[in-house]
Amino acid sequence: MSNLKLFSGENIPLEMHKVRMVQKINLLPVEKRSQCMSEAGFNTFLLKNLDIFLDMLTDSGVNAMSENQYAAMLQADDSYAGSETFYRLEKVLNDMFGMKHFLPAHQGRACEHIIAQTLVKPGSVALMNYHFTTTKAHICRMGGVIEELVIDEAFKIQSNEPFKGNMDINKLNEAIKRHGKEKIAFVRIEAGTNLIGGQPVSLRNMREVSNICRKEGIKLVFDASLLTDNLYFNKLREAEYKNVDLFEITREIGSLMDIVYFSARKLGAARGGGILTSDDKLFFFMRELVPLFEGFLTYGGMSVREMEAMAVGLQESLDMDVISQTPIFVEALCNELLAKGIPVVTPPGGLGCHIDAKQFCSHIPQSEYPAGALAAAVFIASGVRGMERGTISEQRLDDGSEHLADMELLRLAFPKRVFTLSQVKYIADRITWLFSNRSLIGGLEFAEEPKVLRFFFGRLKPKGDWPQQLVRQFRKDFGESL
Ligand SMILES: *Cc1c(COP(=O)(O)O)cnc(C)c1O
């Protein structure tokens, strides 16, 4: 594993790979960055990649691919039906999770669409540790509602709980009793729980939830998009798995679930997705939807080249040297920021470093979107693009009022094996500067607000001229430098 300990006692987050293909990136001057942010409606989703220095928006579809993945892409078997590529991918997945059936889909939300169409009816409820944006949207679109049962500790920004993504078993039992099992569409566990800071779920918790679901006859669905970060923490933080192979752990997870689905934009470092199940009835039902919405059963909307890359990427994602780089870089950045008194989600999870905007911008009311404002300010200060994970990422309630998020987080995601340690240090340095000038950051308000998934393409504007003030302070402190 790559977290090298030196005699001085310092851990060096050492990269266990070398870079043999590179992409040049640009660092624009601060005035230009401010202008770009303004043109993007203060929504980091609307920035252009060319204007960004370090893109930490997401780990979706932007992970570094290995030489073996590229090599596999050259051998893809291009055919509409019955492609060899599909059978190779299917075999890898069936082995990995120990499940009988595999259905391809073009990305994670497409799987959610198919699962929601299959299991959600108007009035039904999906119980889950925590929602993901697209998951919730698909369930609600079918007339269902979601209920979140994650342990209370998940909402404490600073915590020592090693598995903040765990489902609260008492809450689960209570919810089943309250709703009655007929009303429950399914229970869902999300690995590496995205919106609470990439926080893992323990195997022990998965077993407990699975036992209850089996006893009650409720389907258990596992979102494996962020599986690799979760596996890393299962091995690191769960004593009984310390010496268990990642392949064995994944098989065990598969044995506990009725459905496993994933975004291969994350898991497998390619672009695509898929659903696994051993349940014949569920399989036959979902299978009818795949050609309708995705493509024929042996490609599901994916290119065969991506499927080949995915098959190799999935196998490589059961290697601790491969999957540990993201969590150890997350930890390195979190530790640098914590040392400066900057509030981040702890313990550090997978996926990215999550800054608590409620504390960072404690002077900005939640109705003025502190996490969105911080995302804009970080881009102006550094050229680093993060993602708002707070109230902007929520939907308004039916009566049009604002649904204030549980947490206001700025996520700085680490695409897998893309950045270097000096880039991590640059980020920490600029955020430290911003922290000492945080009183300059102001709130945001919507200028254009779409009804569904507004965070993707909504446009906002600053309250006052705080971006200009931030630029002036930057010039004062950094002189001529970018
Ligand atoms: C990204 C993600 C999804 C959706 O996957 P897409 O490929 O982006 O559609 C679902 N669940 C989780 C946990 C994710 O991180």
Spacing, Cα 199 to ligand 1 middle (Å):
15
Between β-strands 387-389 and 145-148, what pairing exists: parallel, antiparallel or unpaired? unpaired
> Atom 3 (ligand 1): residue with closest C-alpha?
108
The average pLDDT across 459-468 equals: 98
Rounded Cα distance, 461 and 43, in Å: 9
Rounded Cα distance, 273 and 268, in Å: 9
Between β-strands 220-223 and 184-190, what pairing exists: parallel, antiparallel or unpaired? parallel
Spacing, Cα 226 to ligand 1 middle (Å):
8
- Residue 109 CA: nearest ligand 1 atom is 9
Rounded Cα distance, 270 and 140, in Å: 28
133-138 long-range CB contacts below 8 Å, 24 or more apart?
133/195, 133/393, 133/453, 133/455, 134/108, 134/109, 134/453, 135/109, 135/188, 135/190, 135/223, 137/395, 137/452, 137/453, 138/109, 138/112, 138/113
Between β-strands 125-128 and 145-148, what pairing exists: parallel, antiparallel or unpaired? parallel
- Summarised one tens digit per residue, pLDDT across range 16-26 is 999 999 999 99
Beta strands in 343-435 (DSSP E): 352-356, 384-385, 387-389, 409-413
- Residue 264 CA: nearest ligand 1 atom is 7
The reported pLDDT for the residue numbered 7 is 67
The reported pLDDT for the residue numbered 11 is 79
Out of 58, 109, 259, 310, mutate this one to test ligand 1's pocket (max ligand atoms within 8 Å of CB): namely 109
Q: Is residue 230 scored above 90 in pLDDT? A: yes
Spacing, Cα 263 to ligand 1 middle (Å):
5
- Summarised one tens digit per residue, pLDDT across range 128-178 is 999 999 999 999 999 999 999 999 999 999 999 999 999 999 999 999 999
Q: Is residue 2 scored above 70 in pLDDT? A: no
Q: Is residue 1 scored above 70 in pLDDT? A: no
- Kindly report whether the peptide bond that precedes residue 450 is cis, defined as omega within 30 degrees of 0: no
Q: Which residues are tagged catalytic? A: 80, 132-133, 223, 266, 389, 455
The percentage of the chain sitting over the pLDDT mark of 70, rounded to a whole number, equals 98
Closest CA to 132 of 107, 109, 105, 155: 109
The reported pLDDT for the residue numbered 369 is 98
Backbone φ, ψ for residue 384 (5° rounding): -90, 130
- Summarised one tens digit per residue, pLDDT across range 44-64 is 999 999 999 999 999 999 999
Token pair 């290995």 is at which residue?
66
Spacing, Cα 331 to ligand 1 middle (Å):
22
